[in-house]
Structure 1
Amino acid sequence: MRTKAFSPPSYYLQQVLPKMLELGAVRIAPFSNRLSHSVPSDVQKLRCLANYEALRFSESIRILAENMVGRMIKRSSLTGGKFVSVHLRFEEDMVAFSCCTYDGDSKENNAMENARERSWRGKFHRPGRVINPEANRRNGRCPLTPLEVGMMLRGMGFDNTTSLYVASGKIYNAEKYMTPLRQLFPLLQTKQTLATSKELALFKGHSSRLAALDYTICLHSEVFVMTQGSNFPHFLMGHRRYIYGGHAKTIKPDKSKLVQLFDNPNIRWDQFKHHMQDMRRHSETKGFGLRKPQESIYNLPMPDCMCQQAEI
Structure 2
Amino acid sequence: HPGLVRDTLAYHGCAELFQDVHTELIQYRREQMIKQGIVNDELSVESHIRRENGSCPLMPEEVGLLLRAMGYPSNAIIYVAGSQTFGGQRLLIPLRAMFANVVDRTSLCSKTELSDLVGPETPLPPDVFKMPNPKSEEQLKEEWNRAGPRPRPLPPPPDRPVYQHEKEGWYAWITENDKEPNPSPMDLRMQAHRLLWDALDYIVSVEADAFFPGFHSDGSRWPDFSGLVIGQRLYERASSRTYRPDRKKIAELFNVIRDDMYHPKRNWILSAREHLNRSLSEEGLIRQSLLSKPTSFLSHPIPECSCRISSVEITKPIKGKDGRILFGGEPECPKWMQSARAEKARTN
1:164 partner SS: strand
CA distance in 1, matches of 2:41, 2:100: 47
Residue 259 of structure 1, CA deviation: 1.1
Deviation per CA, 1:131-189: give whole Å up to 9, x if none.
Answer: 23232111011111111111111112212121111112321222321111111111111
1:188 partner SS: strand
The answer as to 2:226 corresponding to 1:233 is yes
CA distance in 2, matches of 1:233, 1:162: 21
- Residue of structure 1 equivalent to 2:300: 300
| TM-score when normalising by structure 2 | 0.56
Conservation of the 8 A alpha-carbon contact between 1:116 and 1:124: no
2:191 partner SS: coil
The answer as to 2:87 corresponding to 1:173 is yes
Of Structure 1 and Structure 2, the greater helix share is in 1
Q: How does 1:1-312 map to 2 (within 5 A)?
A: 87-102=1-16, 105-117=19-31, 121=35, 123=37, 131-201=45-115, 202-203=117-118, 204-206=190-192, 207-229=194-216, 230-244=223-237, 246-265=238-257, 268-286=264-282, 289=285, 297-307=297-307, 308=333
Aligned length: 224
Q: 1:157 to 1:116 in 2, by over 3 A?
A: same
CA distance in 2, matches of 1:195, 1:156: 29
Deviation per CA, 1:102-147: give whole Å up to 9, x if none.
Answer: 4565434322223334666565886766623232111011111111
Residue 96 of structure 1, CA deviation: 3.0
CA distance in 1, matches of 2:44, 2:335: 52
Q: 1:120 to 1:178 in 2, by over 3 A?
A: farther
* Partner AA of 2:273 in structure 1: Q
Deviation per CA, 1:183-208: give whole Å up to 9, x if none.
Answer: 11111111111112232234453222
Q: Structure 2: 5+ residue runs without aligned partners?
A: 119-189, 217-222, 308-332, 338-348
In percent, how many aligned pairs have the same letter?
A: 23
Which shifted more, 221-230 or 178-187? 221-230
Residue 255 of structure 1, CA deviation: 0.8
1:218 partner SS: helix
* Partner AA of 1:188 in structure 2: V
Deviation per CA, 1:235-265: give whole Å up to 9, x if none.
Answer: 2222212222x21211011111111221224
Conservation of the 8 A alpha-carbon contact between 2:232 and 2:299: yes
Conservation of the 8 A alpha-carbon contact between 1:241 and 1:288: no
Q: 1:105 to 1:163 in 2, by over 3 A?
A: closer
Q: Structure 1: 5+ residue runs without aligned partners?
A: 1-86
Q: 1:303 to 1:98 in 2, by over 3 A?
A: closer
Q: 1:122 to 1:235 in 2, by over 3 A?
A: closer
Conservation of the 8 A alpha-carbon contact between 1:91 and 1:169: no
Deviation per CA, 1:209-242: give whole Å up to 9, x if none.
Answer: 2111111001111111112124322222222122
* Partner AA of 1:196 in structure 2: S
The higher relative CO (CA closer than 8 Å, separation ≥ 6) is in 1
RMSD between aligned residues: 3.2
Q: 1:96 to 1:300 in 2, by over 3 A?
A: closer
CA distance in 2, matches of 1:103, 1:133: 7
Conservation of the 8 A alpha-carbon contact between 2:61 and 2:92: yes
Conservation of the 8 A alpha-carbon contact between 2:253 and 2:268: yes
1:141 partner SS: coil
